[in-house]
Structure 1
C-alpha cells in the first residue's frame, strides 16, 4: 500500500470510534504513567526480592495499560484525525523510554549473562568457548546472577558484541549496576539507529512513515525488551537496518560505490552481534542483482560478493577484537534449552509426551528432528521469497521482513523479542491495513506473555496467578476509561 493510499483510508465512526482531537496526547500520557508505574513496581519488587504479589500486580497493570494505550494510539495513526506527526511519535518514544532507562532489568535476566561473559573476556579467556561458571568459578557473585541454564554455557554472540561485553566489564569494574547501565546505553544507541532507519525504509517501500514508527519502533516489545530488558537485539537490528537503508538508497540513486559498500559492511557488523542479521545481505544482494540486470549471472555474482564481504568483515572483526573465531563453534548455544515458544519444538513435545505413556523417552530425539525440518523449511521459504524479489514481485523491504519471519518461526528458539526481527521491517513495508492490524495484535499478545518482573517463579505459581489476575482487572478498568466513545453513524469520509 502506498503512502498516498494510507492517507486516504476511509474513516467511519463504526470502525474507529471517532477519537477526539485530544486522544493522541491522552494516550501518550497514559502510556507514560503506565511505564512509571512499571518502573516503580520493578524497584519495589527488587527490594521485596520479587516475592510480593503487589509489585507483580502493579507491574502487570503498568505493562498492560501501556499496551492498551499503544493500541488505541494505533487506531488514531491508522485512521483518525488529527494524525500524529513522525516528530510527535519520536518524542512519545523518548517519553515512554525515559523511566525505563533507570529501571532494573525487566522481563529477562539475560543482561547478567552479558556481564558474566564480559568478565570472562576481560580475564583473557574466550567467552565463546568458556562458560561463566568455568571461567569465573561457580561461587562468583557475577555467576550467581546468571540464569541457571546459562551459567556454564559459552556465549553464542559474535566477536563485535564480545568486545562490547569486555569493554563494559573493564569500565564497570565488576559493579553490576554500572554494568547494566552501560549495556543499556549501548542498546539505546542501537535503538537510535533503528529510529533513524525505519522511516527511510518506509520511504524506500512507498509505505507510511507514521505507521512504520508506531508499529515498528513505538511498540511495547521494543520498550520491554530492547530498553528495559537490555537485549543485544537492539544493536543487531540497528546495524542491520541502517546498513539495509544505506545500501538500498545507494541502489535506488544508482550509486554503486562506497555508499553501497558501507551498507553491506554495517549489515555484516550486525551479524557480528547476532548471526540472523546475515539474511539482510541476501536481500541486499538480490536487490543488487536486479539493479545490474536481473540475469542468473548477476544473481550469482551478487551472491558471491555478499559471501566474500561477510567473510572479510568476520575475519577483520574476529582478529581486531582479539576474540578469534570461537564464535563459529558456539552458534548453537542458544538452542541447548528447548524453547516452548518455537513451533519446531512442538512436534518433539507432542510425540515425546505420547511416547512417555508407553515408557519411551523420545522427546529430545523428536525435538532434534523438528529442528532439522525447521531448518529445511526455512531455507526453502527464504529461497522462494528471494526468488519473488529477484523477479520483481516483492520489494526489498517486504522481502527482508518475510525472510526474518521465516528465521524466527522456523528457528530452534523463539523469544518474544525475536519477533522484532520481522516486525520492524514488516512495519516499514507496504502491508495492507488488515495485515498491520494482525501484526499489532501479535505484538500485543507477546508483550504480555512474559512476567514483567524478571526472575524464576517456580514454587510461586500462586503468587504469579494472583499478580496477573489483579493486574488484568486493573488493565480492563483502564481500557473502559480510555476507549473512544462511539457516535451515531454518518456518511463515510475520506482523509485527504
Structure 2
C-alpha cells in the first residue's frame, strides 16, 4: 500500500473502530438520556449503570465525529485505489455487537414494539395510539415515550406486519420484542451486504464497485451506529431498497418483492422505483432486451405483497403520514422560514423545487453507466434532493440515500466524490444535532447545549449543505458538458 493511500485507510479503520466502540459503551452502560429502559427479558444486554446525560452525550458526540472521519477516510482511500477486505470484518463484528446491546439515540424502537403489540393482539395501530390501547395498561404499548404516546403508526403495512411478528416473538417483554426487531434488522443488513457483494463481482473492474459499496453503505460507520445501532425502521426499508436495485436486472420478481418491503415500510423509499424505471427505459431498448414484460413482472410481484398488506391495514393506513407531512424538524432549511411566517402549505412545493434543482444539476453526472448504475444514480439524485429539501429530516433518514449513492458513484466522474464528501459532512453534523437522543433525562446544561445546537446551528448546517451541493453541481455539470 502506497503512502498516499495508507493515511486515509488509517482514518477509515481508526475512525470506524472508535465510532463503534463509543456507541457500544453508551449502549452497554444501560438506561440514560440516550437509551430508554427496556425492562426484563431476553437479549439486548446492558449493565444497568444509568450513566449521566453528560457522559453519554460526550461518548455519542465522539462516536459521530469519529464515524464522520472514518467515512471521509474511506472515501479518500477508495478514490486512491484501496480495496477493503479486513475492514468489512471490523464492520461485521461491530454490527453483530450492536444487536447484542440496547438501541441508542432515540426511543423509536419502543414505538415499533407498541405498534407491533397492538397489531399482534388484534388491534389497529393505525387508529389506536399506544396510550389508549388496553386502557393504557399493556406492558409493551405503555412503554412508548413522549411525544409519541398518543400517535398512531406512521409506518407502512409491510413494516407493520413485521413489527407484529416481532411482537409475537417478544410477548409481554419490551426487551425481547425490541431484540427480535434488532435481529430482523441485522439479518436485512447482512443479506443486502452479501447479495450486493456478490452481484457487484460482475460489475466494473478491479473491485472498485465493491469497494464503494462497502465504504459508503455496508460498512458505513454512521449508518451502522445511527441506523442499526438505533434499531430504526429505515434500516429495513433501506436494505430492501438496495436489494431491489441490485436484483432488478437479474430478477424483476425478487426486485419487486424487495421494493414492496421498502415502500411498504416507509413511503419515501419508492424513489428506488424511479431509478429502476429510468434505467429500464434508457438501457434495455438499446440492449435489445424486453422492457414492458420485465417491468410488468416486477410490478406484479410488488403488488402481490402490497395489496394484501394494505387490505389488512385498511384505508386509513396513511392518515398519520399525511399529518406528519406538515411537521417541521429543527435542523432543516425550512425551520427559520417557518418561524419567520412561511405558510406550511408551501413546504411540499418547496421540497419539490429542491428535488428539481438537485436533479437538473446532478442527473448528467450520476445517471450514467450500465443498468444498475443508472438505476442507482437516478435514485440517488432524487433521494439527495428530497433529503436536502425535506421539512422533517432526522439522521437515520439518510438510509434512503447512501445505498443508491454507493452503487452509482463508481461509474461517476471525480466530481461525484466531492458530492459524497459534502453529504458525509452533512450527515455527521446532522447526527451530532440529535445527541443524546431522548426528549427527557438531560441535565439543564446538556439540554441547553444539545437543543441550542439543534435549533441555532442545525438549520444553517442544512442550508450550507444545500448550497454546497448546488455549487458543486454547477461545476460538475460544466465539467461533464466539456468532457
Pick the TM interval, shorter chain. Answer: 0.7 to 0.9
* Partners of 1:389 and 1:74 in 2: CA distance: 20
**Aligned match of 1:369:** 346
Q: Residues 382 and 406 of structure 1 are in contact (CA less than 8 Å); yes or no, is this contact kept in structure 2?
A: yes
After TM superposition, give the deviation of residue 276 of structure 1 in Å. 1.8
Q: Residues 104 and 229 of structure 2 are in contact (CA less than 8 Å); yes or no, is this contact kept in structure 1?
A: yes
After TM superposition, give the deviation of residue 220 of structure 1 in Å. 2.9
Match status 1:351 vs 2:335: no
**Aligned match of 1:118:** 116
After TM superposition, give the deviation of residue 306 of structure 1 in Å. 6.6
After TM superposition, give the deviation of residue 467 of structure 1 in Å. 9.2
* Partners of 2:292 and 2:351 in 1: CA distance: 26
CA RMSD of aligned residues (A): 3.9
**Aligned match of 1:477:** none
Equivalence map 1:273-284=2 (5 Å): 273-284=265-276
Q: Residues 223 and 399 of structure 2 are in contact (CA less than 8 Å); yes or no, is this contact kept in structure 1?
A: yes
Q: Which has the larger radius of gyration?
A: 1
With over 3 angstroms needed to count, the CA separation of the structure-2 counterparts of 1:36 and 1:316, relative to structure 1, is closer
**Aligned match of 2:277:** 285
With over 3 angstroms needed to count, the CA separation of the structure-2 counterparts of 1:325 and 1:311, relative to structure 1, is farther
With over 3 angstroms needed to count, the CA separation of the structure-2 counterparts of 1:392 and 1:371, relative to structure 1, is same
Deviations 1:410-437 (A, max 9, x none): 3342111112211221122134233333
Which one of the candidate residues 355, 365, 381 is aligned to 1:402? 381
Which one of the candidate residues 172, 177, 186 is aligned to 2:175? 177
After TM superposition, give the deviation of residue 392 of structure 1 in Å. 9.2
Deviations 1:345-402 (A, max 9, x none): 54322226xxxxxxxxxxxxx1232234324654787699889959999822211111
* Partners of 1:89 and 1:233 in 2: CA distance: 24
Deviations 1:237-272 (A, max 9, x none): 222211211113x3xxxxxxxx22321232123211
Q: Residues 241 and 259 of structure 2 are in contact (CA less than 8 Å); yes or no, is this contact kept in structure 1?
A: yes
- Structure 1 gaps, min length 5: 1-6, 251-258, 353-365, 470-496
* Partners of 1:214 and 1:21 in 2: CA distance: 11
Match status 1:415 vs 2:394: yes
Equivalence map 1:204-215=2 (5 Å): 204=203, 208-215=209-216
Match status 1:462 vs 2:445: yes
Q: Residues 132 and 143 of structure 1 are in contact (CA less than 8 Å); yes or no, is this contact kept in structure 2?
A: yes
Q: Residues 106 and 229 of structure 1 are in contact (CA less than 8 Å); yes or no, is this contact kept in structure 2?
A: yes
After TM superposition, give the deviation of residue 441 of structure 1 in Å. 2.2
* Between 155-164 and 382-391, the greater mean CA deviation after superposition: 382-391
* Partners of 1:338 and 1:445 in 2: CA distance: 18
Match status 1:263 vs 2:251: no
Equivalence map 1:87-102=2 (5 Å): 87-102=85-100
Which one of the candidate residues 337, 340, 344 is aligned to 2:330? 340
Which one of the candidate residues 423, 441, 445 is aligned to 1:439? 423
> SS in structure 1 opposite 2:329?
coil
With over 3 angstroms needed to count, the CA separation of the structure-2 counterparts of 1:368 and 1:201, relative to structure 1, is farther
Aligned length: 427
Q: Residues 71 and 221 of structure 2 are in contact (CA less than 8 Å); yes or no, is this contact kept in structure 1?
A: yes
Q: TM-score, normalised by structure 1?
A: 0.73
**Aligned match of 1:317:** 309
Deviations 1:317-369 (A, max 9, x none): 334xx3344324443243354222343454322226xxxxxxxxxxxxx1232
Deviations 1:199-226 (A, max 9, x none): 4469657753213211223223312233
* Partners of 1:437 and 1:56 in 2: CA distance: 25
* Partners of 2:424 and 2:195 in 1: CA distance: 20
Q: Residues 197 and 242 of structure 1 are in contact (CA less than 8 Å); yes or no, is this contact kept in structure 2?
A: yes
* Partners of 1:384 and 1:440 in 2: CA distance: 19
* Partners of 1:40 and 1:291 in 2: CA distance: 49
Q: Residues 190 and 236 of structure 1 are in contact (CA less than 8 Å); yes or no, is this contact kept in structure 2?
A: no
After TM superposition, give the deviation of residue 188 of structure 1 in Å. 0.8
After TM superposition, give the deviation of residue 194 of structure 1 in Å. 3.0
Q: Residues 216 and 424 of structure 1 are in contact (CA less than 8 Å); yes or no, is this contact kept in structure 2?
A: yes
**Aligned match of 2:477:** none
Q: Residues 168 and 183 of structure 1 are in contact (CA less than 8 Å); yes or no, is this contact kept in structure 2?
A: yes
Q: Residues 60 and 467 of structure 1 are in contact (CA less than 8 Å); yes or no, is this contact kept in structure 2?
A: no
